[in-house]
Structure 1
């Protein structure tokens, strides 16, 4: 087919299509013109009116707008609504109330109730103060943890709630029977969270302080405020009957440091432990929990695990699986779509899984008062070579430390204290570490300066010159 024939064929096709369209529109217009008015009897006012000429563009009963025409057909016919005729009202759909509004109606001041968990990422924006921090978001998980913290039969508990975030766990604690909890002391310094924590002070048991839970000065101010004057000092063997501490731990380095510092305060009875064996409960990254609870010969066992296990009785205060997966239980959740990273929330410092850990100072302390420096020195020195047999790495404690070996594997010792000289530091039990530290402490030639190697630092500085 030549180009001329093709052009004529296309033109004739377009012409036929236009004629067909006009005939369809004409037939519909003819049907419209022959439509009869409704069968309803006219009123007296309408009966006296001169009847409209059939075929007008807008009649009383039907209009072109009511005809089942396509938009293009209506445009060609020129739909014109009769002037003065009221527009047909569109069906109104009642506006659905949001969950936030529904919750706040006649239920107290703004902020008393938390927004729905699925909206937290838009309500609580990412700011510098909350970087790396997480908070319990799932109300069911919070209720379960609250019941485990303050079980049935508890009376007059005084709780220090540190870094609670918006306060999902705090609210779960308040929902328990009132006789269980006497006082909740909240430490939180993020303003967006305080907006939802301050309204809780409507309950006389709650006191909210805008102080950082990661600064030791906050606890000094807490004592000076008189909030702990009704806490008894208990010197018995049982855990403290009323006071306990709960804290959300960050996934960054300062989170692990905070846990270690709290555990190191136990042997000498510092901080809250001057009141007795005060239980401390952490919601913390799973990798920190694993490091603290690492058993002998574990590749993750290090100084942190030995110090923690020597200072406290450690256990999970909730099933590990109850806080997993992260996305179902914690805020913030990732806002990533596909492989595209989030622009607002940096999750690099937040491990994907969290755990709950309970630490209670030991009834019979293994680390004796004022011995913390000796433990710290021995652990720091030997864990540098934690995969090396003790017989080959003991001189890291100081020149001539090999003379201590006969005292470490003495057969007359209790079996749990005898150390196999071919074993490696990460394989030692807590009892064996206690014996090694005791022998080192009594060694007359031990180094006098047990801090970080001054000799090494001086040599390093001299080499730079």
Structure 2
């Protein structure tokens, strides 16, 4: 009971004090220009004064063929084709340099391998998951020159552990098969970050792809069986704003953001103009601004780190799936009163629970902080009046979010 009282005091402090939100580090970067030479090779120049010849020397000319492949694949995936951006991402992934126990970087869809080369040059061990078979030969050649510091797999990060039955073939793969292939073992949840994933979300599928990570994260399944996997994600400005939205913003404050904020530290590392990327043709409409929206002219590199204290004696991975569906139910109508929603599950218990959270009786479900939702779930789980079946009716409505 003492831990519950302590959590109650924490909720009071959260409500009465300023809500600082997530830490933000904005790293502006000057753009780099791509120069096509007469012989078909690709050189890079930048606004810091690096000459085209120096850039060509820094990045081997054998990347030029992969760059051409990247241009022909723009309809299917975004690629890092700018060495200046690659160096910026490198600094974001390892801001304080490398140590002996530096995490492995799992790069998803590296394409021409520009970022892969930068990571290797910095002494980082890299796992390259490439879903497009056209880029595999170049990456495999690079792998043969790195003395085991680069491992390449024909795999799509967002098609790990498919729900479909039958034979699983690349780029689909089971996470256990992938980790065994890579020689990666499980570590305790409270240990340091074992793997940093770098991934660019596909345009117009950002929400669905982020939802697919929520379920295994809260249940310690898939890659999260191997520890607190850190996600470093390029997403649109609009998606980032939705992810960090605060209570009271009834338009943007939705279940996805609440679940990520309750489980993870979210940090903005860098903003990059859309024009820097070799983006799919369909992305051209992504910079349009709807009425009332913030500008959406950049991609945001966002670090999402699961918290060490996510799981406790009163909140275990066995509770994760039910908690997800509870939050989705409560935020389906963000202007409804919390006490009414609670009473619909167990008449007469709503007022008692709202008082336990030190909340006003008129508070709406769209005005509850993410940590308050987690504490509310713990209170409901400890209560004899509530049966966990209160959310089971909707447990299978969104199977599409967990499969492809």
Superposed, 1:216-231 pairs within 5 Å as: 216-217=160-161, 218=173, 219-225=175-181, 227-229=182-184, 231=185
Kept after mapping to 2: 8 A contact 1:111/1:199: no
RCO greater where, 1 or 2, for CA within 8 Å and sep 6 or more? Answer: 2
Kept after mapping to 2: 8 A contact 1:112/1:197: no
Deviations 1:135-189 (A, max 9, x none): 223211110111221242433542211122322221221221x2xx2x2111112
Kept after mapping to 2: 8 A contact 1:278/1:361: yes
Match of 1:247 in 2: 199
> What is the CA–CA distance in structure 1 between the aligned matches of 2:80 and 2:38, rounded to whole Å?
28
TM-score between both structures, scaled by the size of structure 2: 0.69
Kept after mapping to 2: 8 A contact 1:112/1:200: no
> What is the CA–CA distance in structure 1 between the aligned matches of 2:192 and 2:208, rounded to whole Å?
24
Kept after mapping to 2: 8 A contact 1:134/1:248: yes
Q: Rg larger in 1 or in 2?
A: 1
Superposed, 1:35-434 pairs within 5 Å as: 97-100=39-42, 112-114=62-64, 123-127=69-73, 131=75, 133-151=77-95, 152-155=97-100, 156-176=102-122, 178=123, 181=124, 183-201=125-143, 202-204=145-147, 205-217=149-161, 218=173, 219-225=175-181, 227-229=182-184, 231=185, 233-236=187-190, 239-240=192-193, 242-253=194-205, 255-298=206-249, 299-316=251-268, 318-320=269-271, 323=272, 325-327=273-275, 329-332=276-279, 345-347=281-283, 350=286, 352-365=297-310, 367-395=315-343, 397-398=344-345, 401-410=346-355, 413=356, 417-434=357-374
Kept after mapping to 2: 8 A contact 1:408/1:435: no
Any idea what SS the aligned residue of 2:107 has? strand
Any idea what SS the aligned residue of 1:444 has? coil
> What is the CA–CA distance in structure 1 between the aligned matches of 2:286 and 2:263, rounded to whole Å?
27
> What is the CA–CA distance in structure 2 between the aligned matches of 1:142 and 1:215, rounded to whole Å?
25
> How many angstroms does 1:305 deviate by?
1.0
Compared CA separation, residues 394 and 248, structure 1 to 2 (3 A): same
> What is the CA–CA distance in structure 2 between the aligned matches of 1:114 and 1:402, rounded to whole Å?
67
Kept after mapping to 2: 8 A contact 1:383/1:425: yes
Length, aligned pairs only: 321
Any idea what SS the aligned residue of 2:235 has? strand
Unaligned runs of 5+ in 2: 1-36, 44-51, 162-172, 288-296, 398-404
Kept after mapping to 2: 8 A contact 1:382/1:425: yes
> What is the CA–CA distance in structure 2 between the aligned matches of 1:245 and 1:393, rounded to whole Å?
38
What RMSD over aligned residues (CA atoms) do the two structures have, in Å? 3.4
> What is the CA–CA distance in structure 1 between the aligned matches of 2:388 and 2:226, rounded to whole Å?
34
Any idea what SS the aligned residue of 2:260 has? helix
Compared CA separation, residues 100 and 195, structure 1 to 2 (3 A): farther
Kept after mapping to 2: 8 A contact 1:247/1:283: yes
> What is the CA–CA distance in structure 1 between the aligned matches of 2:42 and 2:370, rounded to whole Å?
53
Compared CA separation, residues 246 and 100, structure 1 to 2 (3 A): closer
Kept after mapping to 1: 8 A contact 2:339/2:351: no
> What is the CA–CA distance in structure 2 between the aligned matches of 1:426 and 1:245, rounded to whole Å?
31
TM-score between both structures, scaled by the size of structure 1: 0.60
> What is the CA–CA distance in structure 2 between the aligned matches of 1:435 and 1:100, rounded to whole Å?
55
Any idea what SS the aligned residue of 1:355 has? strand
